Structure formats: structure tokens, C-alpha cells
Amino acid sequence: MKSKATGFNRLYFATLYSWQGLRSSWASEAAIRQEVIALALLLPISLLVEVSAAERALLVLSLFLVFIVELLNTGIEAVVDRIGSEYHELSGKAKDIGSAAVLASLITTALVWFIILY
């Protein structure tokens, strides 16, 4: 359903829906909670280490990349589960590809941190 809100009302409702999505994903997904905790632990480290501004930005952005990809994966899983609980090859493929995207973002983050800090 398309929103009829415009201007600041649209911005208000978009922000509200985003917060609902964050709360919902936090409540239903252990991976989201784990990645937020990892982000909360690693973010201060990324701000304290002596690196250039560009390197600091890469450290921080790589942390948020994992969180963003996990949110998208959670959305994919929710849509697939909404369609039906019976096994379908394409449903499994969608979930597997979403999971692979999360893995790729985790590997990217690990590589960025390793390259910059060592």
C-alpha cells in the first residue's frame, strides 16, 4: 500500500517504519543482536586506533555494512516465510543467497580490519 503522506509527514512515517523494522529485527533475529553487540564493541576501537581518517572510515563503514546486509537478509527471510512454510527450491535459494551476502560482508569486514590494523 502506497503512503499518501508527503513532505515532513512522509519523513516522519518513514522514520517510524524504520524504527519498527529495527525493533522487529532485534526481537526476532539472534544474528541481528549478535552483530549489534559486535558493532558496539568494535566501533569504539575503530575510533581509538591511530589510523588515517580514510582508514577509520573504512573500519566504521565495514561494521555497518555487516549490519545493513543482515537487515536485508532478515527482510528476505521474512518475505520467503510469509509466502509459505513448505519447502520450495527457490525459497531455499533466496535464503541461501541472503546468507551468502552476510558471509561476504563478514569476510570483507575481517579483511578490512586485518589489512588496516596489521
- 23 annotated among ligand-binding-site residues: yes
User: What's the pLDDT tens digit per position in 15-51?
Assistant: 999 999 999 999 999 999 999 999 999 999 999 999 9
- 55 annotated among ligand-binding-site residues: no
Q: Quote the CA–CA distance of 94 and 92 in Å, as a whole number.
A: 5
DSSP 69-90: HHHHHHHHHHHHHHH-SS--HH
User: What's the pLDDT tens digit per position in 48-87?
Assistant: 999 999 999 999 999 999 999 999 999 999 999 999 888 8
Helix residue ranges, H only, the chain: 7-28, 30-48, 53-83, 89-117
pLDDT given at position 2? 67
Delineate the domains of the chain, giving CATH numbers in brackets: 30-117 (1.10.287.3610)
Residues involved in catalysis: 70
Phi, psi angles (nearest 5°) of residue 66: -60, -45
